[in-house]
Structure 1
């Protein structure tokens, strides 16, 4: 539970252009909303008596009751399988092995709970699906449902790739920057920038299609490049602030990249704890 809340806090302390942080609220949400969401969702997410699907649903329900909006659906979807895997892993090297086992053994009941959670969170731009729409009772497992959505949603893609983006890209970026700067918050900024420079953000794409894809990728590629060259990342605060204002004035919220930032910090924390 502490590792999860730590990851949420570090992500909130990272200045992520377009997203909510301690430096800037946005999109009718505040840093306080996200702190409360982390606190309220932590207990259901780590409840050993709950199935994976129940953890997801009750974490979303607790969040919704606390803040009245969708602050952390993506975070919950990404972190729930990982936290379950961490309970089974005895070493850091076993974490991803156990995660693969969790993802391979999701159930139709997990999908039903997950669909209820998504419907309750009511994420922006969800729309309708011809196959396994969340408004309809599923007849596939949660992982199978994620496979159907994986071509349009980066979070869903993790369920069928055993979190490839996280383990083979983002955690490596986080650890390298943390080792270089000794600062978890700036290492988290580097994760966020790298994600947005490399992949279109699912949250933005759902809302605007590809209207802002090139703009966001170009701006964050600039940030990613500057971060790769500096030993003093705090010197980029002005640039981050400028891009933050530009994104928010256009209604651009890279929410998926923020969700990946949380789960990346969580993996780093869990691997450290399992190595101890």
Structure 2
């Protein structure tokens, strides 16, 4: 199988390596509207994203930390090296996945379910501080789980409250359903068909963007703009069928990339989900 990964020498180095690989592959993929090696965008550069990945990998993989501690320390490290929010959604997805991988025993998703079920109010407090520090665009205030106020519920409860308006929060509420039920199978299908990892990531990005309105775009610009993005991506998805597996050429993706960036829209949640899926895919290869 194309996606085979060697067993890591130890869990921590394995998690760090898988996380770095996921971040690097996502940057090699031409994801319309987002930063990638083919074009910067939205005042951010590939170098900032690479620096963020390098700074946060050892934190996410460090044994003995809680999920909240991983998130907060990683966001602080990102601010120190990048000076802006390059990876909040990625870190919110990666922290519980890393925690589950480090725990060992059973399937990754089963371990993840245990991690999520045992999240605490302290995890929520640290995550809230991290989100406020990252200053994501379009962040509002919500009764009961306002990141600008002290946490009163567990991180899982807070994410459940937010799941209808934020796709990253929805992953916590559903044991990462988009990742394990859509993303990982999609990656595996394209890899088995002969795609490289960057191309498989592009196809997964289109799959998500064409089927799920991007919650980052909804927060910044409203549902109508997010639906416009979904419609444009759907035109590409129609060609992504087995008998025309690789018709999503770089030129077509680049054209859509220019169109999205010209209109100032950044489907950041969709890109974050791609990283989460790549990370889960690699972590699932290990016993």
Question: What TM-score, normalized by structure 2, do the two folds share?
Answer: 0.92
Aligned to 1:21: 36
The C-alpha deviation readout for 1:94-113, integer Å capped at 9, x for no partner, is 11000000000000000000
Instruction: Kindly report which structure 2 residues correspond to 1:33-182, keeping only aligned pairs within 5 A, or say none.
Output: 33-90=48-105, 94-182=107-195
Distance in 2 of aligned mates of 1:191 and 1:231:
12
SS in 2 for 1:195: helix
Aligned to 1:210: 223
Instruction: Give 1:240's match in structure 2, choosing from 253, 257, 275.
Output: 253
Provide the aligned length of Structure 1 versus Structure 2: 271
Distance in 1 of aligned mates of 2:234 and 2:194:
20
SS in 1 for 2:205: helix
Distance in 2 of aligned mates of 1:214 and 1:9:
28
Moved more, 222-231 or 112-121: 222-231
Distance in 1 of aligned mates of 2:173 and 2:125:
18
Segments of 5+ residues of structure 1 without an aligned counterpart are none
How far residue 129 of structure 1 moved from its aligned partner, in angstroms, is 1.6
Aligned to 2:238: 225
How far residue 89 of structure 1 moved from its aligned partner, in angstroms, is 2.7
How far residue 214 of structure 1 moved from its aligned partner, in angstroms, is 2.5
Moved over 4 A (4+): none
Distance in 2 of aligned mates of 1:49 and 1:273:
20
Q: CA RMSD in A?
A: 1.2
How far residue 54 of structure 1 moved from its aligned partner, in angstroms, is 0.5
User: Given the alignment of the two structures, is residue 257 of structure 1 paired with residue 274 of structure 2, yes or no?
Assistant: no
Question: What TM-score, normalized by structure 1, do the two folds share?
Answer: 0.95
SS in 2 for 1:181: coil
Distance in 2 of aligned mates of 1:157 and 1:232:
31
SS in 2 for 1:152: coil
Verify the 8 A CA contact 2:184 2:281 in the aligned structure 1: yes
Instruction: Kindly report which structure 2 residues correspond to 1:185-204, keeping only aligned pairs within 5 A, or say none.
Output: 185-204=198-217
Segments of 5+ residues of structure 2 without an aligned counterpart are 1-15
Distance in 1 of aligned mates of 2:196 and 2:98:
24
How far residue 227 of structure 1 moved from its aligned partner, in angstroms, is 2.6
Distance in 2 of aligned mates of 1:52 and 1:170:
22
Verify the 8 A CA contact 1:181 1:231 in the aligned structure 2: no
Distance in 2 of aligned mates of 1:31 and 1:40:
14
